[in-house]
Amino acid sequence: MMVSNAWISLGGNLGNVKETMAYALQYLDRHANCRVVAVSSIYKTPPWGRTNQPWFLNACAKLTTTLEAASLLQLCLAIEQKMQRKRIEKWGPRTIDIDILFYENQSITMLGYLILPHPRISERAFVLTPLKEITPNLLLDGESIARRAERFQNESILKLSIEKPWWGGRGEKLHQ
């Protein structure tokens, strides 16, 4: 079985979001085909897309997995469902949102289902900022995540001071 790297984002603004994200990461890490190898800090960020709602907590993680990208997406959707994610309104409030950002260096298009790299990474400071923390040199269209994140330095993003590993995992922090 081939082991692949994948990067995900997690976020939410309903309920105990830190606890919900921690549970999602623990679930992924305990899955037979996944390991969480790096997790960013948690960031408090303004809502995006629909602004009249509570602020979000966001984080990113790097996984190693033997799952194909579509199977990893199914696992993430199952975790969201387990955490009572309701898909009522686009960009609306949610207990948790788990997005696959990158799967290896592959471009994948399954229209209406999965597009990788995630098509809106470059528009989202709430993704670029935590992603930069764990993998600054990862390239998107030939430009590093660190360089792309620089464009959002003036955004209202607050890094929370929470002891690591905040998610209750093994505490590995690998940079690549």
Q: What share of the chain is helix, strand, coil (3-state, %, to 5)?
A: 25, 25, 45
Q: What is the pLDDT of residue 89?
A: 64
Q: Is 170 a catalytic residue?
A: no
pTM: 0.89
Q: Is 141 a catalytic residue?
A: no
In CATH, what number does 4-159 get? 3.30.70.560
Report residue 135: phi and psi, to 5°. Answer: -155, 70
Active-site residue (options: 29, 85, 124, 148): 85
Active-site residue (options: 29, 30, 35, 97): 97
Q: What is the pLDDT of residue 40?
A: 96
Active-site residue (options: 35, 50, 99, 141): 99
Q: Is 29 a catalytic residue?
A: no
Closest alpha carbon to 25 in 145, 170, 176, 174: 170
Please give the chain's pLDDT, 176 residues, in tens: 799 999 999 999 999 999 999 999 999 999 999 999 999 999 999 887 777 889 999 999 999 999 999 999 999 999 998 887 666 666 668 889 999 999 998 888 886 778 888 888 888 899 999 999 999 999 999 999 999 999 987 778 999 987 778 998 754 443 33
